[in-house]
Amino acid sequence: MNEVLVNDSMVHGDLFPFAQIRSVADIRLGIFTLREKWEKIFGLRVLDMSRDQGPGQAVSANLVPDRTFAEAYQSGKHARLMESEKYQPRLLEFPWQIFEWNDEMLRSDFMWITKGRTSCPIPSSNRLIRPGNIFLESGARVENCMLNASAGPIYLGQDTEVMEGSMIRGPFALCQGATVKMGAVIYGATTVGPYSVVGGEIKNSVIFGYSNKSHHGYLGDSVIGEWCNLGAGTSNSNLKNNAGPVRVWNEAKKTFLEAGLKCGLFMGDYSRCSINTSFNTGTVVGICCNIFGETFPSKYIPNFSWGDRGMSSYELDKAIRDIEAWKKLKNHSLGEGEIQVLKYIFENS
């Protein structure tokens, strides 16, 4: 059995805003998305139950694959495994688990992707701590930087660039085509997704791809979707002043849930904020939002919000026009299928 059929309907709302435009299987955790883990690490092609036909019993798309489950699935024994009290599968249920689990996922993905391989040479202009825990793919560029892999591995993907003066502490992954700008300060456990651009200070955050946090400002314990842009000086709080538990909006239950003591910003795809925006602890931003104003934005900003505290709606035609403009900056275009998804979400939000 070389295919795995996944069903992402069960946790769709709980993973708001990251499971609206994509399958849960396409959420990034570590170096890879869940789909890429199935396919690259375990050799199982993923079929989406909503779109494809496939054999066997469907697996929830939020199951984080591991070797025990993959082997059981290939032998048709996964149902029995799931009933075993000894096996505790990891299920991605809430968005804050993405950054909470990223440390472990970065380490395991790094072990797989580098096993039996040799890193491209690391230029001598850099200062390295534990260079054996640093891996550069072909085309990765890094000069005059501090790379400290003593606390976790550092992975620089194909055609990435870390500009001079940056300080990076692992575990850290810079995925294909992404860029770290000059003088950035990045702590683990952080993933910068494909073709994203980051700068300033980042800690324990996951950026899915094609997004920009290009300037100074702090991003911590946060998850940023695709095609987002954080204006210069944007920062988020990840710890309350009273060190109490952070409450985060849950779209499925229409209420706030406790998400631990540290929790920053969750920003859905195609959303942007203006310069010097300050986000409170546990802020949730839906998709296609344009955030600006003189005060703290609300802790929950619905889809297609425009301005300060969601006071008005981002008109669909203007949202699509602006997304097209942002995609052109990275030599992409908005497909008809994507437009239809956006229309559906707009009409049902």
Domain boundary among 37, 62, 93: 93
Name the nearest CA neighbour of 264 among 202, 308, 215, 184.
202
Give residue 120's Cα distance to chain centre. Answer: 26
103 within a domain of the structure (yes/no): no
- Angstrom distance (rounded) from CA 145 to CA 128: 8
Helix intervals (H) in the chain: 34-36, 42, 67-74, 78-83, 96-100, 102-114, 316-328, 336-347
333 within a domain of the structure (yes/no): yes
pLDDT value at residue 134? 98
102 within a domain of the structure (yes/no): no
61 within a domain of the structure (yes/no): yes
Per the CB < 8 A criterion, the answer to whether 203 and 192 are in contact is no
pLDDT value at residue 56? 53
| Whether 45 and 125 share a structural domain | no
If you ran DSSP here, which 8-state letter would residue 53 be given? -
Domain boundary among 35, 62, 93: 93
Beta bridge partners of 192: 174, 207
Give the 3-state secondary structure of residue 181.
coil
Name the nearest CA neighbour of 195 among 19, 54, 12, 332.
332
pLDDT value at residue 40? 92
Exposure on the CB side of residue 268, measured as CA atoms within 13 A: 26
| Whether 66 and 215 share a structural domain | no
Host domain of residue 7: 3-93
The token duo for 160 is 């990435």
The token duo for 318 is 């203007």
**Residue 326, CA distances (Å) to 67, 201, 212, 233, 289 in order:** 39, 24, 11, 20, 13
| Whether 144 and 75 share a structural domain | no
pLDDT value at residue 310? 54
Beta bridge partners of 5: 47
| Whether 37 and 181 share a structural domain | no
Rg (CA), the chain: 20
- Helices 316-328 & 336-347, crossing angle to 10 degrees? 140
Give the 3-state secondary structure of residue 102.
helix
| Whether 32 and 77 share a structural domain | yes
pTM score, two decimals? Answer: 0.94
| Whether 157 and 258 share a structural domain | yes
The token duo for 125 is 């202009």
| Whether 17 and 68 share a structural domain | yes
- Angstrom distance (rounded) from CA 341 to CA 159: 31
169 within a domain of the structure (yes/no): yes
| Whether 128 and 211 share a structural domain | yes
| Whether 116 and 223 share a structural domain | yes
| Whether 167 and 309 share a structural domain | yes
- Angstrom distance (rounded) from CA 185 to CA 198: 10
98 within a domain of the structure (yes/no): no
Per the CB < 8 A criterion, the answer to whether 279 and 236 are in contact is yes
Domain boundary among 30, 60, 93: 93
pLDDT value at residue 88? 87
CATH number for position 168: 2.160.10.10
Name the nearest CA neighbour of 145 among 172, 176, 180.
180
- In one-letter notation, the amino acid at residue 255 is T
104 within a domain of the structure (yes/no): no
pLDDT averaged over consecutive 10-residue blocks of the chain (349 residues)? 73 85 94 95 83 61 90 84 86 96 97 96 98 98 98 98 98 98 97 98 98 97 98 96 95 93 97 96 96 89 83 88 95 94 91
23 within a domain of the structure (yes/no): yes
| Whether 170 and 114 share a structural domain | yes
Q: How many domains does the chain have?
A: 2
Length of the chain: 349
| Whether 260 and 313 share a structural domain | yes
